[in-house]
Each structure stands twice: as C-alpha cells, then as structure tokens.
C-alpha cells in the first residue's frame, strides 16, 4: 500500500472514531442521572445501527408499563373485541392526566395512554387468552399475576407490577411485528400501527411510538422503592423506503426532587427523539 493510501485509510479511521466518540458523548449527556439503554435497528438491512447498552442494561427486565398497550392492541384487534371505530365511554370520573376525561377511540387510548381503557380491554379478553398471546409473542416474563396478594393481574399486571420485559425482548417483538411474523391477523397489525402513529422527525421521517411510565420496585420493601421512575419509548421510523425500529428505557439512579413531576415515559421519549433526530438528520 502506498504512503498516500495508508494516510487515506488512517484519516477515514480517525474520522469514524471521532464520530463514534461524539455519539458516545451524546449518550452520556442524554442519559446522565439514569440507568438506561437505547437501540436503533435497521430492519431493511437487518443491522443494529446504534446501541447504548452500559452494563448490559438492554437485557434487564423492568415493568412493561404502558408499552403493554402495543401488544394489547394487537391482541384486541386480532380477537375482534376492538374495532377501528370502537368507542370507550368515559364514566364521568375526572382525571388529572390530559385526555383521560373523555370518551376514547383506539387512537386516543394510545395517544393519551389511558389506563382505564386498558382495564376494560384486558378483562374482556380474559386471562387465558392473554396468557396464550404472551406465550406466542414470547413477551418478557409473561407474568400476569399482578400485585402480590391482590389478585389484580387483569387490571394491574403491567403497571409497575409483575409483567416485566427487557429492551432486547421489546426489540424482538418489534422485529416480528415489522416482519409480519406475529401470530395475529394482518388487519390487527395494520390497525395497531395506525393508532401508534406519532408524527414526523425534524427531517420529515414518519415515526410511530408508545411510551411507558412507572415506578421502580413499587411492590418491594426498601427505602427508595416506588420513588424512582421507570420510563420507556419504543417504536418505528420510516425513512426513504426503509424501516427502523427503536427501543429506549430509563430508570432514575437517585430519587428525583419532589418538585420534579415529569414521568419516566416522556423522559425516555425526549431522549429517543433527540437521538433519532440526530441519526436521521443527514439521511
């Protein structure tokens, strides 16, 4: 190899190293104060194109929280108990959370992450069907028992409770969804995708996503248990004819200040969108 070519190779390697270091620095800054992970997978080329996985965080199971609304929608559409024009009537009970105090459609259920709708759908499906779907989806620990001693799995299993899943397992579910290899109807997958549409990235790519918010070790004994936030954001990006899948999660390293009312899901979403906008800025 000539001296000129050697210098060219070295320059390319240094440039690549600099880019990787800059991206690593972004991870460190964005996830400061949190245990967390991020994965971005190019489903067209079948390659992981970005990953932040300190201490194998992406393999750690944490409660599914409202990301469970994604597989729950698949179950409900597939079973036929939810239609694209279904309406879930509000019972008049006032809620502090935006969008909850009104009748709900499948899309508004996902958009506003309305727990009371999930708590109608899950019991209507029933435990036997849910457990069958969980097994077919290979969904985390598949534990739908709920809070210890309360027999409330059908209304609470996913809410900082027994149903736990890792980021890697979330990614596996998204891959099977994108590849149409889940054991549900094509119509169920199509309608589920429609109701998790979230908007466009800064450069115009469409993205789909679902947040999840909860509290670490809410049902365990311990000084800080139930006081540190868990957060999820999972979904897909469609850009230039290619499909990408992403998963991120966070858990507070220390208890947040009492004045900090932000939930974990929006935090994970904010981090994810910064990373996605950065990655796709020149795509």
Is residue 66 annotated as a catalytic residue, yes or no? yes
Token pair for 14: 């240094």
Q: Which residues contact 18 (CB under 8 A, 6 or more apart)?
A: none
Asked whether the beta carbons of 249 and 151 are under 8 A apart, the reply is no
- Compute the C-alpha angle 181/273/157, nearest 5°: 55
Helix and strand totals (H; E) in the chain: 9, 8
**Contact call for residues 224 and 255 (beta carbons, < 8 A):** yes
For residue 153, what are its two tokens?
Answer: 């799995």
| CA 194 remoteness from chain centre | 16
User: 242-252 and 229-239 as β-strands: parallel, antiparallel, unpaired?
Assistant: antiparallel
Contact 274, 247 (CB under 8 A): no
**45, 66, 185, 281: the active-site residue:** 66
Pairing of strands 164-165, 197-200: unpaired
SS (H, E, C) 170-194: HHHHHHHHHCCCCCCCHHHHHHHHH
Beta bridge partners of residue 152, listed in sequence order? none
Catalytic residues: 66
């Amino acid at each position: 190899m000539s001296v000129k070519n050697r210098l060219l190779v070295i320059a390319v390697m240094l440039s690549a190293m600099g880019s990787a270091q800059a991206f690593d620095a972004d991870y460190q800054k964005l996830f400061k104060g949190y245990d967390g992970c991020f994965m971005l997978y190019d489903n067209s080329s079948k390659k992981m194109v970005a990953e932040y996985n300190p201490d194998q965080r992406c393999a750690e199971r944490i409660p599914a929280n409202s990301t469970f609304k994604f597989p729950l929608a698949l179950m409900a559409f597939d079973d036929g108990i939810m239609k694209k024009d279904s309406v879930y009537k509000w019972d008049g009970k006032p809620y502090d959370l935006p969008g909850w105090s009104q009748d709900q459609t499948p899309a508004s259920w996902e958009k506003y992450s309305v727990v009371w709708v999930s708590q109608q759908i899950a019991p209507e499906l029933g435990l036997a069907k849910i457990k069958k779907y969980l097994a077919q989806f290979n969904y985390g620990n598949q534990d739908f028992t709920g809070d210890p001693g309360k027999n409330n799995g059908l209304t609470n299993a996913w809410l900082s409770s027994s149903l736990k899943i890792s980021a890697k397992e979330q990614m596996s579910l998204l891959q099977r969804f994108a590849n149409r290899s889940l054991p549900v109807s094509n119509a169920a997958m199509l309608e589920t995708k429609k109701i998790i549409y979230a908007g466009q990235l800064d450069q115009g790519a469409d993205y789909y996503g679902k947040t999840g918010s909860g509290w670490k070790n809410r049902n365990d004994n311990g000084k800080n248990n139930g006081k540190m936030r868990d957060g999820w954001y999972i979904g897909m990006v469609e850009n230039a004819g290619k499909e990408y899948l992403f998963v991120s999660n966070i858990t507070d390293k220390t208890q947040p200040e009492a004045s900090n009312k932000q939930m974990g899901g929006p935090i994970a979403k904010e981090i994810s969108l910064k990373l996605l906008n950065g990655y796709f800025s020149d795509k």
